[in-house]
Every structure is written in C-alpha cells, then in structure tokens.
Amino acid sequence: MPCNCGSDKENNLIYACSGAANTGLLADQVMRTLNRDGVGDSTCLAAMGADLSGFIMSAKNATRNIVLDGCKVSCGKKIFEKNGLPFRHFIMTDFDVEKGKTAITGDLIEAVSERISPLVTA
C-alpha cells in the first residue's frame, strides 16, 4: 500500500471480476499478475459493490482505476458507473477467450497480462 508522503508516485488500483466462469478466473489471475509486475495494486471489486467507504474513497483518489471484467455482462463496469467513478475497462473475452470454454493456463494469463499492461497507461 503506497504512502503518499512526499511522493508523486502513481496509484493505479486494479479490480477484477473473479466471477464463477473461467473468464472470471482469468480476470482475477491477470489482476494478480499486473500487481506482481508493478502495474498497479490489486484491490477488492466486491467491496466497491458493497459501497464500503474506504474502498470508494481510495478509488476516488487513485491515479487510475483499472477494471478487469470477465465477460460482457461487465459487472465491474456497472459498479464503477453506479458510483460515478472514472476507470479503464478491459474484458477478458476481448482477448481471444471464450466464456465457458477456454482453459485458463499460466501461458494464457501471462499473454493477456502482457497485452493489457501497456494499455493501462496508454
């Protein structure tokens, strides 16, 4: 967790769908990979949906909010729109992944993460 004391460091927060389907699993694993690679800090989408004040205020003050949805139902997107918060949106099914069919492998997680990473700050 970054302390803002005297720092101009970007605070990118990453939220993942983590839903029931394979695409939710992929979103979750991509979030963890982006966190590992220093693209941003992973945090809790469910807490945003529950309107927990600390999470909402953190999102309001983040440099960027990165929302990773599994599929086009886009629950994460809807949560951010409900709260009127800015965000960048990525859907796993836009990355050659088919809901309910594509196996989520380590190689796929790395490949999707590598495609999303440069888009976060683009």
Partner 1 sequence: MKVQILGTGCPKCKLLEQHAREAITELGIQVDVEKVTDIDKIMEMGVMMTPALAIDDVVKSVGKVLTKDQVKSYLDGGKFHAL
47/111 with CB nearer partner 1: 47
Q: How far is the CB of 15 from partner 1 (least distance, A)?
A: 11
Q: How far is the CB of 60 from partner 1 (least distance, A)?
A: 7
Tell me the DSSP string of 40-104: -EE--HHHHHTT-HHHHHHHHH-SEEEEEESSTT-HHHHHHHHHT---EEEEGGGSS--TTTS--
CA 12 to CA 64: how far, in whole Å? Answer: 5
27/62 with CB nearer partner 1: 62
54/100 with CB nearer partner 1: 54
Q: How far is the CB of 53 from partner 1 (least distance, A)?
A: 4
55/90 with CB nearer partner 1: 55
Sheet holding 64-69, edge to edge: 41-42, 12-16, 64-69, 88-91
Residues that bind partner 1 (CB under 8 A): 1-6, 11, 13, 41, 43-44, 47, 52-58, 60-62
